[in-house]
Amino acid sequence: SALIFFEYIVTFSEEIHVIWGARLTTVTVIFALNRYLLMAQGVNFALNPVWWLVIIARIFPAVSDLIVVLVTWFKTSALAIEVRKLRIKGSIATLLMRDG
C-alpha cells in the first residue's frame, strides 16, 4: 500500500499534465479506472488486512518442506533395508552421498 501511494504522490503532477489536460478518450478512462481502483484496493488492504492470505502463504512452503522430508525418509528407509539385506558396510549417509 505504501508503494502505491508513494507512486501516486510522485507522479501526480505528470498525471494532471498528461492525462487530465487531454480530452476524454478510452485511454484516459482506462487509466483513471486502473489508477483509482488500485488506490481504493490499497486503502482496503491497509485497513482490512487479509489474514487468510498470510496463513496460506506460510502453510504452503511448510507443506512443501514436509513432503520433501517424508519422501527423503521413505527413500532412506528403503535404502537402509537394502543395506541390511546385503550386509554392506558403511553408513546410510555414505550411501546417500554416493548413490543419491
Per-domain residue ranges for the chain? 2-49, 52-99
Report the amino acid identity of residue 90.
Answer: G
Instruction: Using a cut of 0.85, tell me whether the model's pTM lies above it.
Output: no
C-alpha cell at 86: 546385503
What average pLDDT score do residues 66-75 get? 87
Q: What is the pLDDT of residues 39-55, one digit of tens each?
A: 888 888 778 777 777 78
pLDDT at 88 over 80: no
pLDDT at 100 over 60: no
Are 15 and 35 a contacting pair, CB within 8 Å? yes
What average pLDDT score do residues 13-21 get? 85
Are 1 and 45 a contacting pair, CB within 8 Å? yes
Grid cell 548413490 — which residue? 99
